[in-house]
């Protein structure tokens, strides 16, 4: 690697002339750049081949602190700070003496620093190799970007033992992705996928074979990208393992880079310095990533349930099979979700031929998802075996062997080497009408119907001819009346459809001891504690008894909604509905019992819960809402998220409850028109404007709730004298945010103050969620990712005051 020492004497002579110094790559101590639409001039290398500064992204308000090729049209980024997390307008980078490069947000909050060695920083230098360096006293390098690589290596750069490159998450998202290039301590250079949450490395799908078990000196210890553009692993015995043997570099003057691309392919590119054009691939590994990833764990090159096909450029193309769609429509390399829910109930199994069909995929397989292998199978027998098996999602037939697989499917690939057929199950129709449920029996024949029978009987005795005529007429009238009432009753829930237990009123009255122990009450009824015999054990339950005084229309609608919604969902952050009663005037819902009660009592009690508990609860609620919005077969908008509707189980895990006001959106429906729903203070502004509502109304309510969790204050709570400025929580929180008064928000909570960075992140997420404009609010998927720290949170703008007093 070239060193700038030969420049230093000349640079010191030019220190008084800052413009000239920057033109020659040197950046004075104390220099800074601010991110703005009319961005400051970046710090350029002497040849102006490379630039260091804020690179504006497609979102005009987001910038990436990075190094990029300055002269070529696409200005390709080769290094970035802050783990690839962008920053907003007004952020600044400055060279300081003690921390080197320091990145701050518009309010001066530190986001990242280069953390140099203990030496004091004297100045910075943007090298012509693309290496930004910080130089201390005695011209000693104290930090350089080459030693802190991101997804790219450049000529003259060296990777040592333990070195790692991270891919981006997507082509335009620079946050760390699923793929890694690592030089292991055993000497092998490997490519592998990883778990985003834990950073656990899955099995390698490429390795350099530079490990020698018998001779330590023959193991690789450096990856060198030399100045001529060749890359090799250098062993302890000074042997070179060239990574692209037999390939000759093009002659002429070219830029070179080697990048671990977002799709997991490690690729060396070249680009002419003197001409416009695109980057050209010199070599890449692996040749076919679709078949290269074979581990039992992880998603493979594409997402779960997806199919990977290698294209002519040796890049993976991902697609969802028939009956599946992308979980995240913006990420075509992500997971695919089924557009149906298959159950193992009798009504689903017995009609499998009517409900399901199989699409045929040639040379397609998910090799690590088998649960059953059947020998000597014909195509017809393999197909039928999967079709009749409620666990089977796909069956692979190859060489008269049938492999059955269940969801989720991983490492999907389409490749001629598979040499077989895949029979993929999909739903072709809705379930057929079910037999009448005893809890929702047909209506009794009323007085008018009995009159018809009596009159008909008398008339039938007159003559045989008249008898026949009237019998036919009677049957027709009775049939029409009966059918009309049957259809009317089908609006109600069905135990078969929801897979719930149907209770009689007497059973629940006995279980709840005559409805004596009240747990809580809401606008639609009272909840009582009870104990039920379920199987061989007695379990505590909560019985919600709907109030008869509520208007019949609202009571019936709330009851049907809650049974149908919760009965078809299953998630660890939702309260599980055990069963229901629909007998005469009695409408009751039976839930699993939550021993730690409502979040409201926990949050606003005398003892403030720990910050660790509160952050865990907030994340659980976010995950539950994400499930309702994106991971159910039908999108569900809860419409009444508040601390009274969040319950806590034995381990203080958050469980979302009370779906009485929920709104269901059908497939391909993203919004709906409906009257105002929810609770004052948590209701999104669009409700008041008679505009179509989307899942963003839940995001708004969650934002208010998140601010309550952070501060342990009610959104419109009773205040002490002299605290009128805190009357509206959302106003006060944003004011504290602007003044950087985190201590005022959490008061004497030392645990929260010690974790100020995460508290700050949660706070900014909450402010993003309560934006007046729904389009500015993030989705619950992004909210969850921001809370988890997977996606960085930009500084939020001011929310509107419109909704605060509504």
The yes-or-no verdict on residue 2 having pLDDT over 50 is: no
DSSP element (H, E) containing 488: helix 464-489
CATH of domain 153-285: 2.90.10.10
Q: Is the pLDDT of residue 463 over 50?
A: no
pLDDT of residue 488: 38
Of the candidate ranges 99-113, 297-311, 629-643, 654-668, the one whose mean pLDDT is the lowest: 654-668
User: What pLDDT was estimated at residue 444?
Assistant: 42
Q: What is the pLDDT of residues 155-196, one digit of tens each?
A: 999 999 889 999 999 888 899 999 999 999 888 999 999 988
> What pLDDT, on the 0 to 100 scale, is given for residue 562?
62
Q: Is the pLDDT of residue 267 over 60?
A: yes
Whether 630 shows a pLDDT value over 90: the answer reads no
More confident residue, 501 or 14: 501
DSSP strands (E only) in 524-657: 525-534, 537-546, 577-583, 586-592, 635-637, 646-648, 654-656
Q: What is the CATH number of domain 5-148?
A: 2.90.10.10
Q: Is 287 a catalytic residue?
A: no
Find, among 182, 415, 172, 201, the residue nearest to 316 by Cα.
Answer: 415
- The angle subtended at Cα 656 by Cα 581 and Cα 334, nearest 5°, is 120
**Is there a contact between 152 and 168 (Cβ–Cβ < 8 Å)?**
no
Residue-wise pLDDT tens digits, 736-782: 998 888 888 998 788 999 888 899 999 999 999 999 888 899 999 99
Instruction: Say which CATH class 307-427 falls into.
Output: alpha beta
Amino acid 548: pLDDT: 53
CATH topology of domain 495-592: Phosphorylase Kinase; domain 1 (3.30.200)
Asked if residue 470 has pLDDT above 90, the reply is: no
For residues 133-147, give the mean pLDDT: 89
**Whether pLDDT at 413 is above 80:** yes
714-724 pLDDT per residue, tens:
987 544 434 55
- Looking at residues 509-536, what average pLDDT do you find? 81
Judge contact between 654 and 648, C-beta under 8 A.
yes
Provide the percentage of residues in the chain whose pLDDT is more than 90: 39
Binned at pLDDT 50, 70 and 90, residue 465 comes out as very low
Q: Residue 199, CB half-sphere, CA atoms under 13 Å: how many? A: 7
What ranges make up the beta strands (E) of 438-500?
A: none
Q: pLDDT value at position 205?
A: 94
Domain boundaries 599-788, CATH class: mainly alpha
Q: What is the C-alpha separation between 47 and 538, in angstroms, rounded?
A: 79
- Is 725's pLDDT higher than 70? no
Check residue 717 and give its pLDDT: 55
Q: For residue 619, which phi and psi values (nearest 5 degrees)? A: -70, -35
Least confident of 313-322, 495-504, 692-701: 495-504
pLDDT of residue 748: 78
Domain pair 5-148 / 495-592, same fold: no
What would the mean pLDDT of 16-21 be, rounded to a whole number?
Answer: 36
Burial class (CB in 10 A: 0-12, 13-18, 19+), 340: middle
The secondary structure of residue 364, as a DSSP letter, is: E
> Could you tell me the pLDDT band of residue 539, with boundaries at 50, 70 and 90?
confident
536 band by pLDDT with thresholds 50, 70 and 90: low
Average pLDDT, the chain: 80
What is the full DSSP assignment across 15-53? TT-HHHHHHTTEEETT-EEE--TTPPPPEEPTTSSEEEE
CB 154, CB 144: distance < 8 Å: no
Does residue 245 have a pLDDT over 90? no
Domain ranges for the chain, please list them: 5-148, 153-285, 307-427, 441-489, 495-592, 599-788
Q: pLDDT tier at 525 (50, 70, 90 boundaries)? A: confident
What confidence score (pLDDT) does residue 138 get?
Answer: 76
Kindly name the residue from 640, 658, 698, 749 that is annotated as catalytic. Answer: 640
Distance from C-alpha of 58 to C-alpha of 222, rounded to nearest angstrom: 37
What is the DSSP code (8-state) at residue 672? B
- Number of residues that this document lists for the chain: 806
- Cα Rg, the chain, nearest whole Å: 33
pLDDT one-digit tens code per residue, 783-805: 999 999 888 898 898 886 443 33
Q: Is the pLDDT of residue 455 over 80?
A: no
Three-state DSSP class for residue 579: strand
Interatomic CA distance for residues 449 and 477, integer angstroms: 9
Predicted pLDDT at 552:
47
pLDDT, residue 239, reads 87
E strand residue ranges, 333-393: 336-338, 356-362, 364-365, 370-374
**pLDDT score of 675 more than 60:** no
pTM: 0.56
What are residue 275's DSSP bridge partners? Answer: none
**Rounded distance between C-alpha atoms, residue 106 and residue 95, angstroms:** 17
In the chain, how many H helices and how many E strands? 19, 46
- List Cβ neighbours of 771 (8 Å cut-off, separation of 6 or more): 777, 796, 797, 799, 800
Tell me the C-alpha distance between 360 and 421, whole Å. 7
Residue 381 is predicted with a pLDDT of 94
Residue 482's pLDDT is 40
For residue 378, pLDDT beyond 90: yes
What share of the chain in percent tops pLDDT 70? 77
pLDDT for 293-351, tens place per residue? 987 788 889 999 999 999 988 999 999 998 899 988 888 899 999 888 777 776 566 55
> Can you give the pLDDT at residue 633?
65
């Amino acid at each position: 690697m070239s060193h700038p020492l030969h420049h230093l004497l000349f640079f010191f002579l030019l220190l008084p002339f800052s413009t000239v110094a920057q033109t020659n790559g040197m950046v004075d101590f104390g220099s800074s750049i601010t991110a703005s639409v009319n961005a400051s001039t970046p710090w350029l290398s002497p040849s102006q081949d490379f630039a260091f500064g804020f690179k504006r992204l497609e979102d005009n308000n987001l910038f990436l602190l990075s190094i990029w090729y300055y002269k070529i049209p696409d200005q390709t980024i080769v290094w970035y700070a802050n783990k690839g997390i962008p920053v907003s307008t007004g952020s600044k980078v400055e060279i300081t003496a003690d921390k080197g490069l320091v990145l701050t947000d518009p309010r001066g909050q530190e986001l990242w620093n280069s953390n140099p060695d203990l030496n004091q920083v004297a100045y910075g230098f943007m090298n012509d190799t693309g290496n930004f360096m910080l130089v201390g006293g005695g011209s000693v390098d104290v930090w350089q970007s080459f030693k802190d690589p991101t997804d790219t290596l450049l000529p003259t750069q060296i990777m040592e033992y333990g070195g790692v490159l991270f891919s981006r998450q997507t082509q335009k998202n620079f946050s760390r992705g699923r793929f890694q290039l690592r030089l292991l301590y055993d000497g092998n250079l490997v490519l592998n996928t990883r778990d985003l949450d834990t950073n656990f490395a899955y099995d390698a799908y490429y390795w350099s074979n530079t490990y020698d078990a018998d001779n330590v000196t023959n193991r690789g210890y450096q990856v060198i990208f030399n100045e001529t553009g060749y890359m090799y692993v250098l062993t302890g015995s000074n042997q070179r393992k060239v990574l692209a043997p037999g390939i000759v570099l093009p002659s002429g003057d070219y830029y070179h880079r080697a990048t671990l691309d977002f799709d997991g392919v490690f690729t060396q590119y070249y680009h002419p310095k003197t001409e416009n054009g695109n980057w050209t691939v010199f070599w890449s590994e692996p040749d076919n990533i679709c078949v290269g990833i074979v581990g039992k764990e992880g998603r493979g090159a594409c997402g779960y349930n997806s199919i990977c096909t290698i294209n002519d450029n040796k890049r993976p193309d991902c697609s969802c099979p028939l009956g599946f769609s992308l979980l995240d429509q913006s990420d075509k390399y992500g997971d695919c979700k089924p557009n149906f829910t298959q159950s193992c109930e009798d009504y689903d199994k017995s009609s499998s031929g009517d409900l399901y069909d199989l699409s045929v995929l040639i040379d397609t397989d998910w090799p690590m998802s088998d649960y059953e292998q059947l020998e000597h199978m014909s195509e017809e027998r393999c197909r039928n075996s999967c079709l009749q098996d409620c666990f089977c999602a796909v069956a692979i037939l190859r060489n008269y062997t049938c492999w059955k697989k269940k969801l989720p499917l991983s490492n999907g690939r389409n490749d001629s080497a598979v040499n077989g057929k895949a029979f993929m199950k999909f739903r072709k129709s809705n379930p057929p009408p079910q037999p009448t449920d005893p809890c929702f029996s047909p209506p009794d024949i009323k007085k008018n119907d009995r009159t018809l029978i009596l009159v008909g009987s008398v008339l039938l005795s007159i003559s045989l001819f008249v008898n026949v005529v009237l019998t036919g007429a009677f049957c027709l009238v009775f049939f029409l009346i009966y059918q009309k009432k049957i259809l009317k009753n089908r609006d109600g829930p069905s135990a078969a459809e929801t897979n719930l237990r149907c209770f009689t009123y007497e059973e629940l009255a006995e279980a709840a001891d005559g409805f004596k122990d009240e747990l809580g009450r809401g606008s639609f009824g009272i909840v009582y504690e009870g104990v039920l015999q379920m199987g061989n054990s007695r379990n505590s339950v909560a019985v919600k008894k709907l109030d008869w005084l509520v208007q019949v229309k609202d009571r019936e609608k709330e009851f049907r909604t809650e049974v149908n919604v919760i009965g078809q969902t299953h998630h660890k952050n939702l309260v599980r509905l055990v069963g229901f009663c629909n007998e005469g005037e009695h409408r009751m819902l039976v839930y699993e019992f939550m021993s730690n009660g409502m979040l409201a009592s926990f949050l606003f009690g005398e003892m403030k819960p720990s910050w660790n508990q509160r952050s865990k609860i907030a994340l659980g609620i976010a995950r539950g809402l994400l499930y309702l919005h994106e991971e159910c077969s039908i999108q569900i908008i809860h419409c009444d998220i508040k601390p009274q509707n969040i319950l806590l189980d034995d381990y203080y895990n958050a469980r979302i409850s009370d779906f009485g006001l929920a709104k269901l959106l059908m497939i391909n429906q993203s919004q709906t028109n409906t009257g105002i729903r929810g609770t004052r203070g948590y209701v999104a502004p669009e409700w008041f404007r008679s505009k179509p509502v989307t899942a963003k109304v839940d995001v708004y309510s969650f934002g208010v709730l998140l601010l309550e969790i952070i501060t342990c204050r009610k959104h419109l709570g009773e205040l002490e004298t002299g605290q009128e400025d805190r009357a509206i929580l959302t106003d006060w929180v944003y004011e504290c945010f602007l003044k950087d008064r985190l201590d005022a928000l959490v008061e004497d909570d030392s645990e929260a103050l010690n974790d100020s960075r995460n508290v700050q992140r949660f706070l900014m997420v909450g402010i993003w969620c309560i934006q007046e404009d729904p389009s500015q609010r993030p989705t619950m998927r992004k909210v969850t990712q921001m809370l988890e720290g997977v996606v960085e949170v930009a500084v939020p703008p001011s929310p509107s005051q419109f909704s605060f007093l509504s």
